[in-house]
Amino acid sequence: MKISLRTKLIVSFLAVVIVTGFVATLVGVNLIVDGMIREEQDRVRTNLNSAREIYEGELKEIKDLARLTAVRFFIKEALLKSDLEGIEEELVRIREEEHLDILTLTDKNGKVLFRASNPDVYDDSQAEDELVNMVLLEKEVVASTQIISGKELEKEGEDLAEQAYIEFIPTPMEKSRPEKEETSGMVMKAAAPVMGYDNELLGIIYAGRLLNRNYEIVDKVKDTVFKGVKYKGKDIGTVTIFQGDLRISTNVQNLDGSRAIGTRVSEEVYDQVLVEGMPWIYRAFVVNNWYITAYEPIENIKGEIIGILYVGLLEEKFTDMRNKTMGIFLGITFAGMALALIISYFLASGVLKPIKRLVYASKRLAKGDLTQRVKLTSKDEIGELAEAFNFMASSIKERDDQLKARAQQKIQESERLASLGRLAAGVAHEINNPLGAILVYSELLLEESELQDSKRENLKKIVRETIRCKEIVKGLLDFARKTEPKKEPANINEILESVLALVEKQVLFQNIKITKTLHPHLPMAMIDKTQIQQVFMNIILNAVEAMQGRGSLTISTQLLEDGQSMEIGFTDTGCGIPQEIMERLFEPFFTTKEETSGIGLGLAISYGIIKNHRGNIEVKSQVGKGTTFLIRLPVEKCD
Ligand SMILES: Nc1ncnc2c1ncn2[C@@H]1O[C@H](COP(=O)(O)OP(=O)(O)O)[C@@H](O)[C@H]1O
Ligand SMILES: [Mg+2]
């Protein structure tokens, strides 16, 4: 599958943004949430401390009430006189005024004399009661939270026993207990001694408030500590007093809005707070919401753990905050992604557009449009690439133009030679017959015996010149390739040797050094021996003439790499050929040797013969240094 550069660019951009974005979100949110949790826990701890203070304040108030009642003159008097007449109403009034559930007077042994909450029941001993007992011993005011059994509560008032009675409501994660209900109650209680004038104990006043179903304290804490703030209709802070593990006073609500009395703490909290006596600060599912909670034990006067004070902060507000934070982080990530998408899109376009132009131009160039150029001015690697492309295109164009020009020239040259050949052939053909006739009749005349000697001489001249004319005509016909070669297999090396043997002895060759580098296993060529001999002869003679009797001639044969043709080379150290006459060299009658009777047919004939053999003839020359003629002939396959 082909994945475009653009996709790759965009995908890698996005990958970076997504990874960093999500990692940042994860780390950031975790850090923030951790901080928030710690802060919330600190807050709930502080809130618990405030709740504890209010609780203790409440206890102190009862303590003060007990003490102040105990020091009242009329109570002391009544005890001294053993006449309770008159004080009963007073005690009932105080109980009501001070919202006390319990206000009871005992004698100096702890035997109940009068119960303001239940005047009908008296004479029982409260000496065994923890607080009363302590006052009997210490004669000091004491106060504490206390568990009072249902039976004892009943004595203080049937309504109190009823108020204390709570049936357990099944709660998830609670610690299982065999009981199904609670009959005893938790009471904030204080006991104070009534002292005589000689500082002797006359009796004891004890006062108390039942905490079961009494919401005064928890609501007071809620109002002062949490200021009654609500979040989405729910109280943000909740407060509970537990008797043991049982919710007896709370503003945690059930789904129906009623107070969640009768539910119990989870086993975890039970173990930590009630058994271990340690505070518990953690998130917890309370009744039907998650809270960040703090629990701490409530002790009785002996230091035994009898209950729990609890505050909880609604977690929802905090979770919403966390979600909002997460949302913001994710939002930033997504915005980053969008931005990256846009930037990478434009970046990719910026990079890709010039590349596409380059690709387009390259394709056009490959199809032959050499004028293709890419206009790019950017000063980067792509700009460099475009520059290189343009340079390449113009180089190709230049070379192409040169090649075309040279090919054109070649074609023109051979066309010119061909038309010249046709002309020459026409002329030669026309002249050949009359020349034949001239020769025949001249020879006939010569045969006559009575011819004068001087006339005979003239006639002989006519015959000679006519023969010369016929030779020229034959040369012209050779050039025009009108004489069909009689081809037979021949060894080029041998032909060269035979030609050299013919000419070597001549005076002209005396000071010429001839070097031969002949290919030892040159294949046979299908040629007309006499014609090729003539070509070699012409070229060798030209070379020797160009050297004016002094120099060296190198003759070589070689098989070309393709194995299809052989090359015969003639290199002389003669005068060389000036460039301006180069293209006329093979024309018939072109010669630079007018004074030495050159007729300029040698190369023309040679050209005709070589072309007739489907060969090629080429010249390389440097004026003053020498000339090389190269003849290429096809290797004839033996068939
Ligand atoms: N090897 C050579 N060195 C220098 N010039 C040469 C050579 N071969 C041929 N030429 C030139 O080519 C011309 C044509 O040669 P050719 O056709 O043989 O005619 P000719 O020899 O009768 O002049 C010569 O006149 C000479 O100027
Ligand atoms: Mg010649």
Report which protein residue has its CA nearest ligand 1's atom 3. Answer: 546
pLDDT at 619: 95
> pLDDT > 90: what percent of the chain?
53
The answer on pLDDT for 7 being more than 90 is no
CA 538 – ligand 2 centroid, Å: 6
Is the shortest distance between the CB of 592 and ligand 1 below 6 Å? yes
pLDDT at residue 636 tops 90: no
The identity of residue 39, as a single letter, is E
Q: Is 287 in the pocket of ligand 1 (CB under 6 A)?
A: no
Confidence class of residue 343 from pLDDT cuts 50, 70 and 90?
confident
Mean pLDDT of 258-273: 91
- Is residue 638's pLDDT more than 60? no
Helix (H) or strand (E) holding 76: helix 73-81
Residue 551 alpha carbon to ligand 1 centre in Å: 16
- Could you tell me if the CB of 600 is within 6 A of ligand 1? yes
Tokens coding 50: 């405030």
Residue from 102, 33, 43, 39 nearest 69 by CA: 102
The predicted pLDDT at position 191 comes to: 97
Q: Per residue in 536-586, pLDDT tens?
A: 999 999 999 999 889 999 999 999 988 889 999 999 999 999 999 998 899
Q: What is the mean pLDDT of residues 102-121?
A: 94
266-312: pLDDT as tens digits? 888 999 999 999 999 988 887 778 889 999 999 999 999 999 999 99
Give the per-residue pLDDT at 219: 93
Tell me if 590 CB under 6 Å of ligand 1: yes
**pLDDT tens readout for residues 360-395:** 989 998 898 888 888 877 778 888 888 898 999 999
Region 305-330: what's the mean pLDDT? 88
215 lines ligand 1 (CB under 6 A): no
Among the listed residues 306, 271, 317, 241, the one whose alpha carbon sits nearest the alpha carbon of residue 173:
271
Q: For residue 184, what are its two tokens?
A: 């005893």
Stretch 501-526: mean pLDDT, rounded?
Answer: 91
pLDDT of residue 97: 94
Average pLDDT over every residue of 11-30: 84
Cα–ligand 1 centroid distance for 574 (angstroms): 11
Examine the pLDDT at 78 and tell me if it is beyond 70.
Answer: yes
Distance in Å, CA 362 to ligand 2 centroid: 52
Annotate 502-515 with b (16+ C-beta within 10 A) or e (fewer).
Answer: ebeeeeebeebeee
Contact of 131 with 301, CB cutoff 8 Å? yes
pLDDT in tens, 440-464: 999 988 888 787 888 889 989 999 9
Q: Is the CB of 628 under 6 A from ligand 1?
A: no
Report whether pLDDT(637) > 70.
Answer: no
SS3 182: strand
CA distances for 464 relative to 193, 424, 451, 472, angstroms: 182, 22, 18, 13
* pTM value surpassing 0.75: no
Ligand 2 centre to CA of 627 (Å) is 14
Q: Is the CB of 603 under 6 A from ligand 1?
A: yes
Q: In the Cβ-directed half-sphere of 319, how many Cα atoms lie within 13 Å?
A: 12
Report the chain's mean pLDDT, rounded to a whole number.
89
d(CA 210, CA 591): 148
Q: Which residue has the higher pLDDT, 326 or 300?
A: 300
Percent of the chain past pLDDT 70, that is, above it, reads 99
How sure is the predictor about 345, in pLDDT bands with cuts at 50, 70 and 90? confident
DSSP letters spanning 271-316: IIIIIS---EEEEEEETTEEEEEEEEEEE-TTS-EEEEEEEEEEHH
Ligand 1 centre to CA of 472 (Å) is 16
Residue 234: closest CA among 325, 317, 311: 317
Could you read off the pLDDT of 171-229 as tens digits, one per residue?
878 888 888 999 999 999 999 999 999 999 999 999 999 999 999 999 999 999 888 88
Taking only Cα atoms into account, the Rg of the chain, rounded to an integer number of angstroms, comes to: 68
Report helix, strand and coil shares of the chain as percent, to nearest 5. 50, 20, 25
Ligand 1 binding pocket mutation candidate from 534, 542, 587, 590 (most atoms within 8 A of CB): 542
Q: Indicate the pLDDT class of residue 110, thresholds 50, 70 and 90.
A: very high
Give yes or no for residue 234 CB within 6 A of ligand 1.
Answer: no
Residue 639 in this model has a pLDDT that exceeds 60: no
Distance 506 CA to ligand 1 centre (A): 19
Work out which ligand 1 atom sits closest to the CA atom of 592.
25
pLDDT score for 552: 95
Q: Whose structure tokens read 């009675």? A: 165
Q: How far is the CA of 462 from the centre of ligand 2 (A)?
A: 25
Is the C-beta atom of 574 inside 6 A of ligand 1?
yes
**Residue nearest ligand 1's atom 12 by CA:** 585
* Cβ neighbours around 229 below 10 Å, total: 11
Contact (Cβ atoms closer than 8 angstroms) between residue 314 and residue 288: no
**For 139-152, how does the pLDDT look when each residue is reduced to its tens digit (9 = 90+)?**
999 999 999 999 99
- Tens digits of residue pLDDT in 460-497: 999 998 998 888 888 888 777 667 788 899 999 999 99
Pocket test for ligand 1, best of 541, 555, 582, 591 (most atoms within 8 A of CB): 591
More confident residue, 421 or 324: 324
CA 564 from centroid of its chain's CA atoms: 58
